[in-house]
């Protein structure tokens, strides 16, 4: 009987104290951090040392950040138990909307940016509502949207430009806008100039720093990773995301508003795509129909490398953060080595495979499955 | 079979029931899972719902806990008619359910499971966050009260044994101030010792004045803690008996479908 309920439970002889290593193993982002270390070691050994100078780091962090913003959205959605294969196309579609709003309509950024986010959120909500209402796998519903949004971007671009698949003039339209520095160019310019004066960072002959500032996407990327991590680990909404992805029925029965959580996640992912669209369109000064092409796969791969399980309910935003950095390092880093650039895809596939095998083993450990 | 009225001599305890279910029917398409079931629970009693597999026990308690809407029938909660649209509604009213399929998420920690859907927060506005320290402390404390030593509050539920998971679910319901605790076959997958622990937990919970609905197809487990026993068979109630008024054999026969009615009537004192 329950006589032993009064004895002190701390004295249970079957409990082994957990080693630090065992505790670490339980962190979903462990694999991605190990991956960053491995990849860094690899490039330190094989690449031109220029890769790890300040300008080299900014060089690979910029694409990492653009991908990472998508990957963090994708990771939250995957933890919530769903996929979105339409994020790449969403980048093009949101880019078209943003381009049309600024160039064709001539809206100031103060209106164009919130409208672009609203528009993306609405598309995300449609995606999510169809998935939730139909009960179909999000994989198939968002695969449909991958094509629908890409096609709409093409058709829309032609309609706006009168036949071209590229919409130019975004730079002229947004130049001097007070909101422009938040979404394009470099941040912390004065800090970099000050550091250059002191000789802390590299400068050109005339004394201007080689890296004039931190590209804004890196700032957004880091901020988003921090907010997403806080959301997942420290807020009730984060608990609901884990619960919704872990077991929809159990979560619903415990009072978690699963539908609302999932639809909100689809909206968030679409907004991440819109953010990338705004930043890259303003950076390029134009938008085209190929924008964001295949980014959905790269984002999902970064999320998986970051420890997200394909089955949902497990993963982390920090992991996706490091997953995206691995990505950027490999894409750009190969250029600093004597290897053929095209090894990139092999590398990527290999990383994905290792990550999935690793995550699967971790899941079995955590759930005590044998 | 009109056993429905015939066996209704197990008088309810004095006082008003917390929940009263009247002539509940539930149809799934052309399947009639419940064909008119009445049932009530009083504070501090353990009312056992017995029946063979497929009798409709789970379906019945799901109508009580807001998962299903009854096709027909009435639910009174503290005397007032109630219609729950979701498990959340029922939970907020004070009906907590430990489902047969447990409603626990193996990949999540014990603490996260314990507070799932009802996370306490601190801070305000955009800085509103879960009160993680308090959540961990409460979880450890509540589990210790139930006799379970957690390694750490962030231990995944998947690493707990079946009995421990049941206990987490029960502790959670009690912590959130349930007035009625529904347990759907909490002992069916457990070993002897774990079963004893769960039964002891039920007894503790009842002594706190909570009404317990204990579902089982094991007569011995039911008799160990039950105050009243209602038998469900093929979507109907076969009757309600009080503790001490019915033998294990009679209960067993009733669950088997009432073929041994004569014998059963005898043991009930020939009131039929
Ligand atoms: N959602 C559902 N749809 C159709 N039939 C169901 C559903 N839920 C339960 N049933 C049927 O109702 C009957 C009673 O099931 P259940 O309540 O689970 O029995 P018990 O818990 O007593 O073993 C079974 O015949 C089952 O097949
Ligand atoms: Mg059942």
Q: How confident is the model at residue A79 (pLDDT cuts 50, 70, 90)?
A: very high
Q: How many Å separate Cα A74 from the centre of its chain?
A: 6
Same domain for B229 and B136? no
Asked if residue A331 has pLDDT above 80, the reply is yes
- Residue among A224, A236, A157 at smallest CA distance from B121: A236
pLDDT at A361: 84
Quote the pLDDT of residue A5.
Answer: 40
Percent residues over pLDDT 90 in chain B? 38
Range(s) of the domain holding residue B256: 4-94+178-267
Give the confidence band of B270 by pLDDT, cuts at 50, 70, 90.
very low
Two tokens at B239? 């009757």
Instruction: Please tell me whether residues B142 and B195 are part of one structural domain.
Output: no
Q: Of chain A residues 263-322, which have a CB less than 8 A from chain B?
A: 309, 313-314
Q: What is the tens place of the pLDDT at every residue in A263-282?
A: 999 999 999 999 999 999 99
A236 falls within a domain? yes
Question: Is residue A21 included in any domain, yes or no?
Answer: no
Q: Do the Cβ atoms of A217 and A62 come closer than 8 Å?
A: yes
- How many residues can be counted in chain B? 272
* Residue of the CA atom closest to atom 18 of ligand 1: B58
Domain end marker among B156, B177, B198 = B177
Confidence tier at A4 by pLDDT (50, 70, 90): very low
Asked whether residue A22 is assigned to any structural domain, the reply reads no
CA distance B199 to A2: 9
A255 → closest Cβ in B105, B118, B158: B118
What's chain A's average pLDDT? 89
Domain boundary among the residues B144, B177, B210 is at B177
A2, part of any domain: no
Ligand 1 center to B60 CA (angstroms): 9
Predicted local distance difference test score (pLDDT) of residue B259: 54
Q: Are residues B257 and B192 in the same domain?
A: yes
The pLDDT value recorded for residue A155 is 95
pLDDT in tens, B222-264: 999 999 999 998 888 888 888 888 888 888 887 776 555 455 4
Q: Is B41 left (phi over 0), alpha (psi -120 to 50) or beta?
A: beta
In percent, the amount of chain A with pLDDT more than 90 equals 69
DSSP per residue, A282-293: HHHTEEETTTTT
In a domain, A17, yes or no: no
Tens of pLDDT, residue by residue over A223-257, are 999 999 999 999 999 999 999 999 998 898 888 99
Please tell me the distance from the alpha carbon of residue A161 to that of residue A154, in angstroms, as a whole number.
Answer: 11
Q: Are B238 and B232 in contact (CB under 8 A)?
A: yes
Regarding whether B194 and B258 lie in a shared domain, the answer is yes
B88 contact residues in A (CB cutoff 8 A): 255, 257
In a domain, residue A25? The reply is no
Least confident span in A87-91, A199-203, A362-366, B127-131: A362-366
Per residue in A80-94, pLDDT tens? 999 999 999 999 999
B49-104: per-residue pLDDT in tens?
998 888 899 999 999 988 899 999 999 999 899 888 888 888 888 998 888 766 78
Residue B163 confidence (pLDDT) above 70 = yes
Ligand 1 atom at minimal distance to the Cα of residue B33: 12
Interface test with A, best of B63, B116, B194 (most A CBs within 10 A): B116
Within a domain: B55:
yes
Task: Tally the domains of chain A.
Answer: 1
Number of domains observed in the structure of chain B: 2
Query: Residue A19 domain-assigned?
Result: no
Tell me the two tokens of residue B187: 């002992």
Q: Confirm or reject contact between B191 and chain A (CB < 8 A).
A: no
Considering CB atoms only, which of B103, B154, B200 is closest to A253? Answer: B103
Which uninterrupted H or E stretch holds B66?
none
Q: Say what the pLDDT of residue B250 is.
A: 84
| A303-331 mean pLDDT | 93
Give the pLDDT band (50/70/90) at residue B9.
very low
Residue B203 domain-assigned (yes or no): yes
Burial class (CB in 10 A: 0-12, 13-18, 19+), A225: buried
CATH number at residue A360: 1.10.3470
For position B90, what pLDDT does the model report?
87
Both B259 and B195 in a single domain? yes
Q: Are B41 and B29 in contact (CB under 8 A)?
A: no
Q: How confident is the model at residue A1 (pLDDT cuts 50, 70, 90)?
A: very low
Which residues of A78-208 form beta strands (DSSP E)?
Answer: 166-168, 186-187
The per-residue pLDDT for range B112-145, each reduced to its tens digit, is: 999 998 899 999 888 899 999 999 999 999 888 8
Distance CA A237, CA A233 (A): 9
Q: Which range marks the domain in which residue A140 is found?
A: 32-41+48-365
Q: Is B203 in the same domain as B155?
A: no
- CA gap A104, A327 in Å, rounded: 35
**Kind of pairing between the strands at B180-184 and B95-98:** parallel
Whether residues B59 and B81 share a domain: the answer is yes
Compute φ and ψ for B11, nearest 5 degrees. Answer: -60, 150
CA distances (Å), A216 to each of A219, A252, B194, in order? 5, 40, 58
Q: For the domain that residue B189 is a member of, what is the CATH number?
A: 3.40.50.300
Residue whose C-alpha is closest to residue A323's, from A37, A71, A78: A71
Residue B250 lies in a domain: yes
Alpha carbon separation from B73 to A161, B76, B230 (Å, rounded): 64, 10, 18
- Domain assignment present for B100: no
The pTM of this model reads: 0.84
Of A269, A291, A268, A267, nearest in space to A278 by CA: A291
Contacts of A9 in chain B (CB under 8 A): 144, 147-149
B64 with B158, same domain: the answer is no
For residues B241 and A362, which has the higher predicted lDDT (pLDDT)?
B241
For residue B258, the model assigns a pLDDT of: 54
Question: Judging by beta carbons within 10 Å of its beta carbon (0-12, 13-18, 19+), is residue B106 exposed, middle or buried?
Answer: buried
Tell me: do B166 and B198 sit in the same domain.
no
Q: Which of B177, B210, B234 is the last residue of a domain?
A: B177
B89/B223 same-domain check: yes
Residues above pLDDT 70, as percent of chain A: 92
Disruptive mutation site among B88, B108, B200 for chain A (greatest number of A CBs within 10 Å): B108
Phi, psi of B49 (to 5 degrees): -110, 115
Could you report the predicted ipTM of this complex, rounded to two decimals? Answer: 0.83
- Residue A11: count of CB within 10 angstroms of its CB: 8
Whether B187 and B254 share a structural domain? yes
User: Alpha-carbon distance A59 to A50, whole Å?
Assistant: 10
**Which runs of consecutive H residues, i.e. helices, occur in A285-340?**
295-305, 317-333
Which of the listed ranges A4-8, A30-34, A319-323, B106-110 does the model predict with the highest average pLDDT? A319-323
Please indicate, yes or no, whether residues B82 and B191 belong to a single structural domain of this protein. Answer: yes
Read off the pLDDT of residues A8-64 as tens digits, 9 standing for 90 and up: 444 444 445 556 666 666 678 888 898 899 999 999 999 999 999 999 999 999 999
Measured CA to CA, the distance from residue A6 to residue A8 in angstroms comes to: 6
């Amino acid at each position: 009987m329950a006589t032993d309920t009064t004895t002190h439970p701390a004295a249970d002889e079957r409990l082994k104290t957990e080693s630090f290593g065992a505790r670490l193993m339980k962190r979903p982002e462990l694999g991605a951090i190990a991956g960053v270390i491995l990849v860094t070691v690899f490039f330190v050994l094989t690449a031109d040392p220029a890769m790890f100078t300040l300008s080299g780091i900014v060089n690979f962090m910029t694409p990492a950040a653009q991908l990472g913003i998508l990957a963090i959205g994708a990771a939250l959605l995957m933890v919530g138990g769903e996929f979105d294969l339409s994020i790449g196309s969403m980048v093009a579609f949101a880019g078209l909307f943003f381009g049309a709003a600024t160039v064709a309509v001539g809206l100031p950024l103060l209106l164009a940016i919130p409208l672009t986010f609203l528009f993306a959120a609405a598309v995300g909500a449609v995606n999510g509502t169809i998935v939730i209402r139909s009960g179909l796998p999000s994989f198939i519903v968002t695969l449909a949207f991958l094509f629908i949004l890409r096609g709409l971007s093409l058709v829309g671009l032609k309609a706006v430009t009168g036949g071209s698949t590229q919409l130019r003039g975004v730079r002229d339209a947004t130049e001097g806008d007070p909101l422009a520095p938040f979404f394009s160019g470099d941040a912390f310019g004065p800090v970099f100039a000050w550091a250059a004066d002191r000789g802390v960072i590299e400068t050109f002959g005339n004394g201007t720093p080689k890296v004039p500032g931190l590209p804004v996407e890196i700032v957004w990327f880091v901020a988003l990773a921090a907010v997403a991590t806080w959301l997942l680990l420290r807020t009730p909404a984060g608990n609901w995301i884990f619960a919704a992805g872990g077991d929809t029925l159990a979560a619903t029965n415990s009072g978690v508003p699963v539908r609302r959580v999932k639809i909100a996640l689809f909206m968030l992912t679409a907004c991440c795509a819109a953010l990338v669209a705004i930043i890259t369109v303003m950076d390029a000064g134009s938008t085209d129909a190929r924008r964001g092409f295949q980014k959905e796969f790269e984002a999902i791969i970064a999320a998986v490398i970051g420890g997200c399980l394909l089955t949902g309910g497990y993963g982390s935003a920090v992991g996706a953060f490091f997953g995206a950095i691995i990505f950027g390092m490999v894409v750009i880093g190969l250029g600093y080595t004597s290897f053929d650039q095209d090894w990139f895809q092999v590398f990527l596939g290999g990383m994905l495979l290792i990550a999935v095998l690793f995550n699967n083993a971790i899941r079995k450990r955590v759930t005590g499955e044998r | 079979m009109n056993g429905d009225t015939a066996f209704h001599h197990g008088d309810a305890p004095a006082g008003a029931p917390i929940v009263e279910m009247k002539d509940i029917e539930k149809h799934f398409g052309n399947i009639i899972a419940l064909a008119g079931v009445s049932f009530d629970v009083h504070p501090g009693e353990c009312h056992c719902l017995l029946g063979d597999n497929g009798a409709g026990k789970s379906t019945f308690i799901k109508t009580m806990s807001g998962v299903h809407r009854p096709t027909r029938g009435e639910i009174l909660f503290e005397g007032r008619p109630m219609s729950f649209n979701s498990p959340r509604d029922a939970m907020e009213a004070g009906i907590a359910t430990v489902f047969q399929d447990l409603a626990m998420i193996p990949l999540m920690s014990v603490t996260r499971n314990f507070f799932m859907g009802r996370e306490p927060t601190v801070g305000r506005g955009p800085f509103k966050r879960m009160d993680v320290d308090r959540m961990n402390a409460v979880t450890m404390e509540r589990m210790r009260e139930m006799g379970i030593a957690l390694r750490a509050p962030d231990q995944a539920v998947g690493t707990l044994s079946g009995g421990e998971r049941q206990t987490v679910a029960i502790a959670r319901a009690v912590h959130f101030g349930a007035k009625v605790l529904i347990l759907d076959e909490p002992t069916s997958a457990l070993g002897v010792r774990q079963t004893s622990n769960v039964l002891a937990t039920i007894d503790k919970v009842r002594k706190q004045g909570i009404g317990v609905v204990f579902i089982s197809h094991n007569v011995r487990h039911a008799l160990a803690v039950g105050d009243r026993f209602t038998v469900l068979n093929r979507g109907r109630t076969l009757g309600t008996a009080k503790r001490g008024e019915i033998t294990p054999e009679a209960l067993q026969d009733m669950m088997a479908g009432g073929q041994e009615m004569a014998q059963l009537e005898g043991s009930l004192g020939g009131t039929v």
